[in-house]
Structure 1
Amino acid sequence: MAPITVDSKQSGTARILGSASAAIAELGVFHPVDTISKRLMSNQSKVTSLSQFNSVIFRNSAEKPIVTRFFSLFPGLGYAAGYKILQRVYKYGGQPVANDFLTKNFKDSFEGVFGARTGKAMMSATAGSLIGIGEIILLPLDVLKIKRQTNPEAFRGRGFLRIIMDEGLGLYRGWGWTAARNAPGSFSLFGGSAFAKEYVLGLEDYSKATWSQNIVASIFGASASLIVSAPLDVIKTRIQNRNFENPEGGMTILKNMIKNEGLTSFFKGLTPKLLTTGPKLVFSFALAQTLIPAFDKMIR
């Protein structure tokens, strides 16, 4: 049995620069798309007409000129910038660190259980899952971003520092559901990409992938991630978009969704998410995977 081939390692600086650059580019292109996705997931009524769809997407700006409607899709940009840059640096820059750790300490175990090629991909997926769970540390910024996008009335004139002081640990509400979503979601993202590089593209060193190869691998990973995490993502979003003084637990939301909306409600927004968030995730993931080695070459 052939041993697992170890990918080339990049410096920590290159990982930070590559991930941050990908996050900034993603934010500039896809923030309106993210707002649309969050508003669709938060909507609890059936959409039966174009005018109703416009009301869900554009809220109070539904009847206003198209330019006004477009700019209404940029709420919470400041929170989004802070969250997105930190999240992408942590996730895209941190997963290779976790993968290096697993390769150094558990390579033989993964190789023995899954075989040489699959073991390498499984290490990448497992590293992604571990990083995904730890991502809950950034939850307050995600909560504030989602509330700005879907429920701006929750702020009632309060600024960032005042909300932090008033709400405290309440901003971590839904952390368990977030971790439960992130673990399989990140496992599928990095695992799907790794399996594509291993079995579809036949790469021995994943870090040597070209831009087009990273795009193909990212499509596999992003699609798997969004489908697997969709039900928990809907619950997480509904926990986070409620008013601060009127929270609702995940189990209550789950029961009400089954009772009032049916099982298909757990996949609300999945199609637009695949069409909108999918390209966003593919774009940022592929860009980070391409930029990190590029920055590493520049630094060295």
Structure 2
Amino acid sequence: MSPPSNDKSNSGIARILGSATAGISELAVFHPVDTTAKRLMSNNTKVNSLAELNRVVFKSYAQETVGRKMLSLFPGLGYAAGYKILQRVYKYGGQPFVNDILNKNFKKDFEGAFGQKTGKAIMSATAGSMIGIGEIVLLPLDVLKIKRQTNPDAFKGRGFLSIIKDEGFGLYRGWGWTAARNAPGSFALFGGNAFAKEYIFALSDYSSATWSQNFVASICGASASLIVSAPLDVIKTRIQNRHFDNPESGFTILKNMAKNEGFSSFFKGLVPKLLTTGPKLVFSFALAQTLIPAFDRALGGK
């Protein structure tokens, strides 16, 4: 019989407060970076010059002053705030709940199949994958955020409630591709993080990690996640950035990309994502993992 897990289970309130704070902090620092990455992924032409890069990133503001260019990278901030905070609360706060359920009911199965240490890490990764699939519930907010960032003309002067009324379940377009992207992506995120804590830092209680340990572990998880999910992320983004009245299926996009842009098109924006979105994910993931036990202690957790 394996020894009992030393992992401490933090309170639900601590998980919500820690992950929400991480989401707000991430949004404040990285929203312009996210806009840039989304516009690069949505671009279906080759960028061969700084002038072309300027046009792709800043769109109609390409010839404006630096200040106005920077402000143009904050479209859809309201949608982004709603989506990002809810997403981080759901993902960072929800994965520990699923992991607790797996640990209670299937711990012996994971350890029997993979061994004690590896089984524990894979159980954490599996919990992440399950929570990632469920993330499609938040898809409408993600769709509206991406359209604001990459295709603002799609709104045609309509507000949030008007779009919800007009589009309905059309806002869930691409949900299958999103789930297919989230499952391996979240598995790699939480799995890479857990493996780093298990094998690099030899932590028996993941929640006891210091900020620096969480930061390094988050780099491992975020890098693995971005690389694994890159091709499906490009397809997902292109599905979501089109006009509401001119949708295109994921398979059509996949076929056209392979035919017209080549294999490398499935990894468009990967380098900017690793250099920009990567730090954003590392920052919020490490912050959430550090803040959750801190809030738990502040709230009187043992």
Q: Same fold (TM over 0.5)?
A: yes
Name the CA distance, whole Å, in 1 between partners of 2:276 and 2:42.
16
Q: Which runs of 5+ in 1 are unaligned?
A: none
Structure 2 residue ranges without an equivalent (≥5): none
Q: What does 1:279-294 correspond to in 2, within 5 Å?
A: 279-294=279-294
Q: Deviations over 1:251-295 (max 9, x none)?
A: 000000000000100000000000000000000000000000000
Asked if 2 retains the 8 angstrom alpha-carbon contact of 1:185 and 1:228, the reply is: yes
1:2 is displaced (CA, Å) by 4.4
Deviation at 1:3, TM superposition (A): 3.4
Aligned residue number for residue 273 of structure 2:
273
1:140-219 correspondence runs (5 A): 140-219=140-219
Q: Which amino acid aligns with 2:75?
A: P
Q: Distance in 2 between matches of 1:24 and 1:131?
A: 20
Asked if the contact 1:151–1:242 (Cα under 8 Å) also holds between the matched residues in 2, the reply is yes
Shift of 1:6: 3.8
Q: Could you tell me which residue of structure 2 aligns to residue 65 of structure 1?
A: 65
User: Which runs of 4 or more aligned residues in structure 1 lie more than 6 Å from their structure 2 counterparts after TM superposition?
Assistant: none
Q: CA deviation at 1:114?
A: 0.3
What letter is aligned with 2:291? L
Q: Using the alignment, how far apart are the partners of 1:3 and 1:238 within structure 2?
A: 48
Q: Is the 8 A contact 1:223 1:278 kept in 2?
A: yes
Residue correspondences, number = 300
Q: Write the letter of the residue equivalent to 1:95.
A: Q
SS of the equivalent of 2:48 reads coil
Say whether 1:250 aligns with 2:230: no
Return the offset for 1:76. 0.5
- Are the aligned partners of 1:235 and 1:253 in contact in 2 as well (CA < 8 Å)? yes
With over 3 angstroms needed to count, the CA separation of the structure-2 counterparts of 1:50 and 1:4, relative to structure 1, is farther
TM-score, scaled to structure 1 = 0.99
Find the aligned partners of 1:158 and 1:174 in 2 and give their Cα distance.
22
Secondary structure of the residue that 2:179 maps to in structure 1?
A: helix
Is the contact made by 1:11 and 1:296 (CA closer than 8 Å) also made in structure 2? yes
CA deviation digits over 1:165-191, x for unaligned, max 9?
A: 000000000000000000000000000
**Alignment correspondent of 1:7:** 7
Q: Percent identity?
A: 76
CA distance in 2, matches of 1:273, 1:78: 22
Aligned: 1:28 with 2:28: yes
Deviations 1:194-242 (A, max 9, x none): 0000001111100000000000000000000000000000000000000
RMSD: 0.7
Question: Match of 2:3, SS?
Answer: coil
